[in-house]
């Protein structure tokens, strides 16, 4: 069973589980940690206003509502703990060669299987973290142009996966990882990331440049080297492709 501290809200259809979770924070008396999960999202969203394709019944489209407290470092660790957790849980279950890509994508053979969107809400001077997770599970195909960049567990294994069992496994691992939130999370994250030491293309608005990905800083920034100088990149304003 999922840790009893979570209250699960299961929806048939919603615009976006992150948007629903944000409204819930503002309306409810938030004594629980919530999981909002939907069969279908009509306006699933990614970072920087991008769209997240959320076909009915084919994936886990969900948002966790967490109270990280005041500590800024803890926010960074939760950020890395979420993608690390999903990656570790899927690796254990499937044996697939999954990799983490900064800031928090999960890839198989360079194709994206999971995307994560973190947002914050302030209520009565208290900070809430909305952790949106989109995991492709049983899609047999994707519409163009996603078909060349996205994949699912079904496409990779030719097996239909039980979404409830996956949710259960991910949440129990997340509880386990949440008990040990410290800088070790970033070290473990780096060990599952294929991008460090590789050349990447960075898109910052209309501006594009090439750099070498060298490290993840304590504050969660991606450290790149360009023209012999180290530079920090923050998730909010860049899009990365691994060359």
C-alpha torsion angle, residues 6, 12, 18, 23 (rounded to 10)? -80
In DSSP terms, 185 is beta-bridged to: none
Question: What's the min distance (Å) between Cβ of 98 and ligand BT5?
Answer: 14
* Contact of 212 with 199, CB cutoff 8 Å: yes
Question: What's the min distance (Å) between Cβ of 120 and ligand BT5?
Answer: 14
In DSSP terms, 6 is beta-bridged to: 33
* Contact of 37 with 8, CB cutoff 8 Å: yes
Looking at the Cβ atoms of 6 and 225, the one nearer to ligand BT5 is 6
Looking at the Cβ atoms of 96 and 146, the one nearer to ligand BT5 is 146
Distance CA 21, CA 63 (A): 7
Residue 117 interacts with ligand BT5 (CB under 6 A): yes or no: yes
Question: What's the min distance (Å) between Cβ of 4 and ligand BT5?
Answer: 23
Looking at the Cβ atoms of 68 and 132, the one nearer to ligand BT5 is 132
User: Binding marks (x or -) toward ligand BT5, 53..82, rule CB under 6 A?
Assistant: xx------xxx-------------------
Q: Which of 33, 40, 74, 112 binds ligand BT5 (CB under 6 A)?
A: 112
Tokens of residue 172, six digits: 């129990």
Closest CA relative to residue 182, chosen from 218, 133, 214:
218
Please identify the residue of the shown chain whose CB is closest to the bound ligand BT5: 115
User: Binding marks (x or -) toward ligand BT5, 5..24, rule CB under 6 A?
Assistant: -----------xxx------
Looking at the Cβ atoms of 87 and 133, the one nearer to ligand BT5 is 133
Residue 45 interacts with ligand BT5 (CB under 6 A): yes or no: yes
**Helical pair 163-179 and 72-94, crossing angle rounded to 10 deg:** 140
Looking at the Cβ atoms of 76 and 238, the one nearer to ligand BT5 is 238
Tokens of residue 153, six digits: 């567990």
Task: Map tokens 């198989």 to a residue.
Answer: 108
Q: Which of 9, 24, 25, 52 binds ligand BT5 (CB under 6 A)?
A: 52
* Residue 190, Cβ density class (10 Å: 0-12 exposed, 13-18 middle, ≥19 buried): middle
Residues that bind ligand BT5 in the complex, under the rule CB under 6 A: 16-18, 41, 44-48, 50, 52-54, 61-63, 105, 112, 115-117, 132-134, 136, 146, 150
């Amino acid at each position: 069973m999922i840790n009893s501290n979570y209250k699960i809200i299961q929806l048939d259809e919603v615009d976006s589980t992150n948007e629903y979770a944000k409204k819930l924070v503002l309306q409810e008396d938030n004594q629980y940690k919530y999981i909002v999960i939907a069969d279908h999202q009509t306006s699933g969203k990614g970072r920087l206003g991008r769209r997240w394709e959320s076909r009915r019944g084919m994936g886990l489209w969900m948002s966790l509502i967490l109270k990280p407290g005041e500590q800024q470092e803890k926010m960074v660790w939760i950020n890395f703990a979420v993608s690390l957790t999903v990656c570790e849980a899927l690796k254990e279950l499937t044996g697939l060669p999954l990799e983490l890509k900064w800031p928090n994508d999960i890839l198989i053979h360079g194709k994206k299987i999971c995307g994560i969107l973190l947002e914050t809400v302030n209520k009565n001077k208290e900070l809430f973290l909305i952790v949106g997770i989109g995991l492709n599970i049983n899609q047999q195909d994707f519409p163009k142009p996603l078909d060349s960049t996205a994949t699912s567990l079904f496409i990779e294994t030719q097996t239909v996966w039980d979404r409830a069992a996956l949710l259960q496994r991910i949440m129990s691992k997340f509880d386990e990882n949440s008990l040990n939130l410290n800088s070790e999370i970033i070290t473990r994250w780096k060990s599952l990331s294929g991008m460090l030491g590789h050349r990447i293309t960075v898109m910052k608005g209309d501006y594009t440049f090439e750099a070498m990905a060298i490290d993840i800083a304590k504050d969660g920034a991606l450290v790149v080297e360009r023209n012999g100088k180290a530079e920090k990149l923050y998730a909010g304003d860049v899009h990365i492709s691994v060359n």
